[in-house]
Amino acid sequence: MAATIFSKIIDRTIPARIEYEDDLCLAFHDVAPQAPTHLLVIPRRPIPSLADLDQTDAPLVGHLILVATQVAARLGLDSGYRLVVNCGRDGGQSVDHLHVHLLGGRPLGWPPG
C-alpha cells in the first residue's frame, strides 16, 4: 500500500494532535472537523478500507471501536456522539487507510432545516 497521510502521521513525518495511542492504533483530531469534536481512530497497520478486512481483523476492529468510546468519554461527550466508517470513494472514503470518525459536540442533524 502506498504511503498515505495517515501512515505519515503514524511515523511522525506529519504532525497531528494525537489524543490517544497504543501498539494497535492512534486517535487524533481531524484537521478539517465536521463537528465541534472530530477525531479519527486509525489502526497502525495499513488496511485500505472495510472491504479489505477479514475474520482475523475482528479483534482490531473491536479495539478501534472501544478506543473511540474511551476517547469520547475522556472528552466529555456524555450526551452522545457518532462513529462513522466510510468505505470506498463512492462511500465517502477520502484516505485509503481504514479510519473511524468520532463526531460529537452537537446534536445529530445540526444545523436544523
Residue range 38-49: mean pLDDT, rounded: 96
> For residues 106 and 68, which has the higher predicted lDDT (pLDDT)?
68
Report the distance separating Cα 16 and Cα 5, nearest Å: 10
pLDDT category, 111, cuts 50, 70, 90? Answer: low
Q: What is the CATH number of domain 5-104?
A: 3.30.428.10
pLDDT category, 39, cuts 50, 70, 90? Answer: very high
**Residue that the C-alpha cell 468520532 belongs to:** 102
Residue range 65-81: mean pLDDT, rounded: 97
The pLDDT score that the predictor gives to residue 112 is 57
Which residues are annotated as catalytic? Answer: 99
Total-model pTM = 0.92
- How many CB atoms sit inside 10 A of residue 77's CB? 19
| Per-residue pLDDT at 48 exceeds 70 | yes
Contacts of 31 (CB under 8 A, 6+ apart): 16
